Amino acid sequence: MSTIESIGTGGDYATPQDWYNAHAGNITSDVNAPYIGELTPEIFSGGLVMSGSTTDITHYFHLRAKTGSEFNGNFSGAYPEIRKTSGDDIVKITDNYTRLEHFCVGNTTNRHNGIFVDSVNHIIIDACGVHNMDYNNDIIDGAIHVEGDSTNVVIRNCAVGSLSTDGAAGAVSGIYIEGTGSGTCELYNNTVNQLNCGSVVGTAYGIIVGDQLTAKIINNVIGVISAPNAKASIYTTGIGTLTNIYNGGENATGLGSASVSGWSSANVFVNSTDTNAMDLHLKPGQPGNVGAAGANPLRQAGLNLRKSSLYISTPTYDIDNDVRGVNVPWNMGADGDAEGVTKGTSTTGMLCKKSDGTYTYAQWRLFYAQCPKINSMCNANSSGYVSASQVCQLSLW
């Protein structure tokens, strides 16, 4: 059975390090594992190292925010945050099967990594935030950085905002995966914004993935990346089997197929610039082409992974803990739309028959995405039209 414990003021443990240390060791035969630590919405300034324990698929460590205080993509909210005033990494993980969820890391200077993972088998980093990191005259390797022979790495629904570095050695990366060529990783529905390197030889990359046996990079969004030297939304190298699709970026470099670029972060995010209050939720707006009035081109532009086999672990929720729809195209990035958002109003869209025999309106975009039969039917009818009676007999659900 699992053991759920609170971490923070008035809780079972004062800090996440205290919680981990109390249970660290070989827990593969521990009847109380997995250990689930729930963080209260406060600042933990001592950093965290989770290293040296023996775990397995049913006996592991899971660190998450308490219900009601989860980080949700708005950096000005009330959520747990881990900081550190010395050393290279704010959070360091070397234990297999670790899971991190819905808390934030950052608001610190002179750290190479926000969340650093080294030589781990199975890790899930879900809906975590890393922000406001500044390292003058050195390198921010990654807000989230995975290296060594790590495999079965899943990074999803995470939000990275406001990383900056300067000086002769400056470089900055949002999510950085590097390995030995035998690892597997999956990065989907993450959002990265405002990576700035002022060094004259500096580089800035939203996502870097290198030397992996298999890598899947799907539905990610990269906003502002600024550097005088090399920069790219996504950079990949040395990957055996790469799936790089349905990503969005202000900078079009490296996005892969079915991408969306050419938009402005100011036009798609709720707050794209404020260092401490950046809000990476998508602005309201109907799905549409870049530059179209009232449109947000990242909405419903992603791949629905609940209808695809292109994932390691079953994707269900977005950064708000809202269920991602099974019958609709997904948004790109960490912020999903509830399935109902994609339905038409009572008088607009295409009237379609549901599986229970009732009728509802669906937006045209959803209609064509979910009913490829319509295209073939239209081609089979004169003038490219299909009769209303034929349409109403089709089911979208």
Q: 395: which DSSP letter?
A: B
User: Model confidence over 301-325: pLDDT tens digits?
Assistant: 999 999 888 888 888 899 999 999 8
Which band of pLDDT confidence, cut at 50, 70 and 90, is reported for residue 75?
very high
pLDDT at 319: 97
pLDDT at 231 over 60: yes
Give the global pTM.
0.86
pLDDT at 382: 35
Enclosing H/E stretch for 377? helix 372-380
Mean pLDDT of all residues in 355-384? 47
- Can you tell me the distance from the alpha carbon of 162 to that of 172, in angstroms, rounded to the nearest whole number? 10
The CA-atom distances, in angstroms, between 360 and each of 37, 288, 340, 356, 372 are: 44, 22, 11, 11, 18
Asked if residue 284 has a cis previous peptide bond (ω within 30° of 0), the answer is no
pLDDT at 253 over 80: yes
- Can you tell me the distance from the alpha carbon of 84 to that of 28, in angstroms, rounded to the nearest whole number? 30
